[in-house]
Each structure stands twice: as C-alpha cells, then as structure tokens.
Structure 1
C-alpha cells in the first residue's frame, strides 16, 4: 500500500520521530532545497487550553534569536487552521546519552569535549539573559560530525508551574538544582550550571550522582549534595564537579569560573556564534497574533451565555460528598492551594469585583470568558506569583468561584487569599446553616446523585 505524503508549505511531512507532552516531532523534507528538517507539531487547542500562547510565542522567538553552532536551529514557524508547525534543524546523530548506553561511560577527554560545547552553548544564551531551566539527557543531541546540539533552549521551559509539576510527578528531577526542587525563587544561570555538572558526572561515570528509588530520599541527597566521585575521575575533574554541585547557589561556581579552570581549558577550542546573522520574527507574529485573535473571538461568543454550569457530579466531587459547609465557611485558618467561595451576585458583577480587587492589590489581570488569571511578583521579588479564578453557576442565581494557586509560594497564597477576600466582602455570600438556599442545593444534588 502506498503511503500518502502530506505537505505543509514547502515541507513534505514524513514519519513521527518523537512525542512529548504537548507536541509530536515529525521528520520532513524541504522540497525546494531537499534539506531534511524536524517539525514539532502542536495542536492549537492544546496551547489554548493550557493558556500557553504568550509563553510559547516568547520561547519560539527566543529560539530564533539564539543562534549558536551547539544549539538546534529553529528555521521558521507555520500554521494551519488547527496546528502550529515549528520547523527545526534535523539532527542525525541521536542523543548524546545513547553513547553511554552503548559504551557504559565516556573517557575523560571525550566527556570534556562535550562539556566544553555544552558550556559554550549555555554561556551564549546566558549572555542574552536566556536560561534553559530544564537541561537533561533528552535535550542533548549529536550531529553527523558528533558535535553537541542542545535542543529546546526555551521551549523546554514551559510555564513554571508546569515545569515544577513535570519534575516532581512524571519527569526526572535528578538533573534539577536543589533550589528549583524546593520551589524557592532561583537564579536561572546557577540552576543551569548545576544541571551541566550532573551531566558531566554522568558522562564520565556512566551513572547518576544522585539516584534513589523514592523521591524524599532523592531530594534529601540533592539538597545535601550527598554524592561521591568514582576513583577513575582525575583530581582536577573531581574538584571542578564539587564546585559545580554546590547546593548553595550563591557560592556555586559560575560559568566564568568553569571556563577559567585548568581541567576545562585543556584542548579547549571555543565554539562561537556568528555575529552577522539577521533574524526575522514576522512568521512568529503572524502565527500567534492570528491564534490569539481567533481565540478571543471564540471566547467572547461563549461568554454571552454566562459562566459554565457545574453539574451535580462535579459539585459533589469538589465538595467531598454532600458536606458543603467548607464551601461557605471562610473562617477556616487553613487555606488549601485550591479554595472556593460562593456568591449570589450576578456573574458579571462578581467578575468586575474580582478585577477591581486584583487591580487594587497591584496584580495584572487577564480575563477570558468567566476565567481570570491574576499575576504579580512574589513578596521577595524573586519569582512569579499567579492565581486563577473561575466562576461556575451551581444553582439558579448561585455562583461558586473556584480559586487556585498557579505559581508562587503557598504561604504567600494564604496571605493573598485572606487579603483578597476582605476586598470582596460585598460579593462573598455567608449564609446561615438553616438558609433554604443551601438546603435546596444539597437536596437537588442528593437527588441527582441517586
């Protein structure tokens, strides 16, 4: 049976060569030049659903701007009605860590060569104020000449809450700096340096410096930098790795220090970026301005119908059985990362009050339909703080506002929520236990669940 080739612009799309959380990667051919490329395919619905438009637009722009021989090149961005296509350099040599799987470990000289190329790539990006934040084996590729290519510089650093979730639940935290794992505000440059140190250790040892079967033990070892170097590491290599894997980001060696170390300088041939290349971002603007406009139009049509109506099953799930008291009782001292309050005001009035309260607290407000994201800088000014609120209709003229922390420190969220609620006194409904509206809601839920 003949396979049907699909074209996107001048590119003929072939087989799938990779798959991630948000995208598939397909092999493709430029029909004008016959050049092989890799195309990352992302569904617009996924990007919109996860509120990733601005983030991905920014990261794709970064990847186009950051041009270096040791970083996978982003050629251009295209779009169809339903998908976005990110056209990337096709790297043929596989993953660097495939070599470790086949050979057990690399020699110190070969490890040093790849580490030098990695540091050159990372250093180039840091000089432009850009941090990877997710350096790990699958992001390190080799070209046909066995030179290193760092992939996803920018694209891997999805919104921070997504990155944290990835590390702690389904990704590998083995390469992540202790200050990132502990959700403290962190310096992107120092975090990248730590990851480079773990990568160097694995290249030379053939195994991880921190490797435990359970996460608490692993986190403890990473936080204490509890590791030992094998006997075949040279003293100068061991010395450098210990300076890199310093759990204190303030005293951890910086890239400039790494580049001055005798071990690093041996046989060092710097890989520098060309300075004369012009970068055009028109394709990025065209793709993402269109997606955003279309999305806002769709949302505004939906919003005429009012907020989503929460069905009985969702209501029961959220309120843990039929005990709805937690929904109405705002006197509780302990506020979870997801909280709710109820209002009998019209949905539009609730939304207006939320926006006014947020603005009075100096927060940025982004509203689409009856879902609002509030953003600001944390109290210590070291990280982002974000909260998402969504209004649901749970009964006629009875609305529930779901509030959840999207980014930032949990204690700070507690303080925010109490402060925020005092500014919404006229909106939040605090009924008496005997209030007929509660009884009616509980009765209708009970009947629906039977």
Structure 2
C-alpha cells in the first residue's frame, strides 16, 4: 500500500511542480524531490495525508503553526516555505531544497574545528535573532533540524513545535512541554511556564557543545536521570574546547533563564565576532513616512493575488487548516473585505490616522502605519498588505515591522477593528459568510 501511494505521488505534476524521488519519511509525512517546471529549480515537497491529520488533532496544530510561522520568518539561514497547496486527500508544502543534508550527519563523523563550529553557530544565532524579533520561538533546536546547503551554510528547519505570541498565557509565558529531551531547557521541564526565546538559547548552548565536543553534554540511559542533570546543569566541557568557547557555553547552559546570556550579549563577544560576517535578512525596508508624503502622486500598485487554498486556509474555521491559529482562535491579523483594493487602502489610511498613527505607503499594495508614542520596544510600526482574491474581494494581512509584539497583538485584536467594521466581511478566527468558499466560487478542499 505504501509503495503504491509513493508511485501515485511520484511523477505527479502538481501545478507548476513535478514530483520525483522520496527524500525522507516521517511518522505523518513524506518529503519528495520536486522540480519547478518553469525554472527547472529543485524544491522539496512535503506531502501530508489529510486522513492522518483528521485522526490526530495534535498534527493539525503542528501544520497550522508551521505555516503561520514560516510565513513570518524569511531569512538566509531559514528554510523557505514557497507555497502550500492541497488536493482532496493531501496537503503539499513546497519548500526550498537544501542539498547538504542535516548538520547532525556532519557532527556524527566527529567534532568540528572551532572556526567551522563558530560559523554555524553564528548563522544559527543570526536566524534565531530574526525569529525572536518577530515573536517566534523555535522550541526544537538540534543538529537534526539544522540543514546545510550546497555552499555549506546553515538553514533552520522544522517549525512544527514553534510558538507564536498568541500562545502566551496571562503570565506572558509558554506552558507547553515540548522539544527533544537532550536539548530541552530546565525551565521547560519544571512545568511552571517559560520564555520561549530564552529556552531556545539553552538549546543553542547544547548545539554549540555538540559541535565542539562531538557528543552531548547531558547523557544517561535513564531519561529521568538525564533530566536531573539538565535541571542542575551537570556537565563537563572537554579540554580541547578553547577558553572563550567554554565561557560562552557556560553562560548559555545556565539553569536560571534570567541569568542566561542574551543574543545581544553574544554578539558582543570577541569569540563570536571572529572571522564571520552576519547575513542580512531578506526584507525590503519600507520608505520613510516623510518620503511617501513628498510624493502625493504615488500610484496604488496592483495587489498580489491569494489563491483559493490560501484564502480558505486563512479564513475558514473548518478542517482546512483552521485559520492558521492556535486552537482555532487567536488575535486576528487577517480580514476579508468585499471591496476593491483601492477602497480598502483608503479606509486603512483613514483608520490609521484616526488612531494617531503616521501613515505612509510601502512597496506593493501596502499601507504603513507608525505609532507616534514610544512603546516597550520603541515605536510600533505595522504594515497592512492587501491581496486580491476576486475582483470585488480582498484579503488584508497585518504584519509587525517594529515595536513590541504584544502591542501589535492588541492593535490587531482591539484597536483597529472598530474603524474597519463597515468594510470587513470576516476576521481571521471569526465565522466567515461561507466556510467552504462556495459564495466566491472557490473549490472546497476538504
């Protein structure tokens, strides 16, 4: 049966992609090599069976989270999610193809020279800093989830266990125990809540130790005994690790997360700065507000299109990826409107000014709103991008450009809603007028 299913998928033409050989298998998914028929570019296509998703609620949460997170984090050292598609029986993740395999395979052959380990660690910290700036914590960092491309550069993969700000409880902490035992932070094991970003840094400490030592810092055949070692930070650094690297590891593997070294402190260390330049995130800075104001004739550019699957998976509350939010609801960042893009943009600008935000235009069919008051992490800057679904139907997605993540969540969930009520058809997480896309003439993918 399994071989028949693989034959059925292999050589399938999926939109603009042709699927080829199996690259890997997991419990719930298979990954195939694919080829973009237009550009001949190689891609990796993860195929998930919908029946298995329906049977396992935890699997649904993982898919939703992974899609939601990977849309937020685009960085040279993070595997890129290119597209999500679906048929009646399967979900397809089209991702960047990373040829070099797992970093784990490289470490399994023995410890790395310190310069090489530092290069990988530098790229890991750069990508992680980018994730944390967008409120995303990975929660399962380990060499098996760090891939190497053909140039030998590191790429973080597998965001299935990652967390978004919407998962924080009233105490501002995460409470879900997850991760790989040997890499998990002690505060995660204590079940009292934890800061996901600081827990990621503990895992970075374990990764750095493994790269330099060639084995794990916390090992025991009895998992509970291993947890005991983790909670007391009982480990020994081998003598061949340099003094500077030893000090960094000892500042990462600190039981008290409040005393653990931060990313900004790591960046200042001389060991970290040696010999490597940090890659720049793949993002285009929007024009400053005053520059936009100087060009009153700046024309509204054509909005990007959302395909049917994206619309349904973003707006619907049925099986179809459930709005990309945790447990079916979260602070809304997306709404649908039954108005053309131009009218929606005008309304966004008007509401932004009424809230006391500076208003400017960004590249594409976007509106940029910047607060005038200093928040916890500087001024809140928000972009609202308008996507065209049909001639009279648009989708608007809010994104945080700068400022505090919790302030952004409040802006989306409370501040901006009242002023937009006369153009909104449905907010993400609310029941839309039709859950299966029928009114829009969209295919039912369930």
Q: Same fold (TM over 0.5)?
A: yes
1:118 is aligned to 2:124: yes
> In 1, distance between residues paired with 2:285 and 2:270?
33
Task: State how far apart, in whole Å, the 1-side matches of 2:40 and 2:260 are.
Answer: 46
Of residues 206, 216, 220, the one that matches 1:212 is 220
Matched, 1:68 2:72: no
Matched, 1:48 2:72: no
Q: Which residue of 2 aligns with 1:282?
A: 306
Are 2:258 and 1:250 equivalent residues in the alignment? Answer: yes
Query: 2:185–2:202: 8 Å Cα contact kept in structure 1?
Result: yes
CA 1:15–1:149 in structure 2 vs 1: closer, same or farther (change >3 Å)? Answer: same
Say whether the 8 Å CA contact 2:43–2:94 is kept in structure 1.
Answer: yes
| Distance (Å, rounded) in 2 between the aligned partners of 1:74 and 1:190 | 25
Q: TM-score, normalised by structure 2?
A: 0.60
Deviation of residue 165 (structure 1)? 7.3
State yes or no: 1:88 paired with 2:112: no
Q: How does 1:37-186 map to 2 (within 5 A)?
A: 37-51=43-57, 52-53=59-60, 56-102=63-109, 104-152=110-158, 154-157=159-162, 167=179, 172-186=180-194
Matched, 1:34 2:37: no
Matches for 1:14-25 after TM superposition, within 5 Å:
14-25=20-31
Deviations, residues 140-180 of structure 1 (Å, cap 9, x unaligned): 0100000101112x3233899xx96765xxxx400110111
CA distance in 1, matches of 2:101, 2:91: 25
SS of the counterpart of 2:259? coil
Do 1:61 and 1:281's aligned partners in 2 also have CA atoms closer than 8 Å? no
CA separation of 1:85 and 1:287: change in aligned 2, threshold 3 A: farther
* Structure 1 residue 287: Cα displacement: 5.0
Native 8 Å contact 2:30 2:48 kept in 1: yes
Distance 2:33 2:280 in 1: 28
Q: CA deviation at 1:14?
A: 1.4
d(CA) in 2 for partners of 1:175 and 1:23?
A: 24
Task: Find the aligned partners of 2:212 and 2:17 in 1 and give their Cα distance.
Answer: 40
Q: SS of 2:117's equivalent? A: helix
Question: Which of the numbers 259, 265, 268 marks the counterpart of 2:273?
Answer: 265
Q: Deviations over 1:286-314 (max 9, x none)?
A: 35258754679xxxxxxxxxxxxxxxxxx
TM-score (norm 1): 0.59
Q: Per-residue displacement from partner, 1:291-340 (whole Å, max 9, x unpaired)? A: 754679xxxxxxxxxxxxxxxxxxxxxxxxxxxxxxxxxxxxxxxxxxxx
Query: Which residues of structure 1 form unaligned runs of 5+?
Result: 297-450
- Distance in 1 (CA, whole Å) between partners of 2:278 and 2:201 is 18
Q: 1:280 to 1:255 in 2, by over 3 A?
A: farther
SS of 1:135's equivalent in the other structure is coil
Contact kept in structure 1, 2:65 and 2:160, CA below 8 Å: no
Q: Is the 8 A contact 1:77 1:287 kept in 2?
A: no
SS in 2 for 1:220: helix
Distance 1:207 1:86 in 2: 33
Shift of 1:200: 0.4
Cα root mean square deviation, aligned: 2.7
2:51 & 2:235 partners in 1: Cα distance?
Answer: 44
Q: Which moved more, 1:38-47 or 1:254-263?
A: 38-47
Measured in 2, the distance between the counterparts of 1:42 and 1:75 equals 16
CA distance in 2, matches of 1:131, 1:48: 26
Question: Quick one: structure 1 residues 148 and 46, their matched pair in 2 at CA, closer, same or farther if it must change by over 3 Å?
Answer: same
Secondary structure in 2 matching 1:105: coil
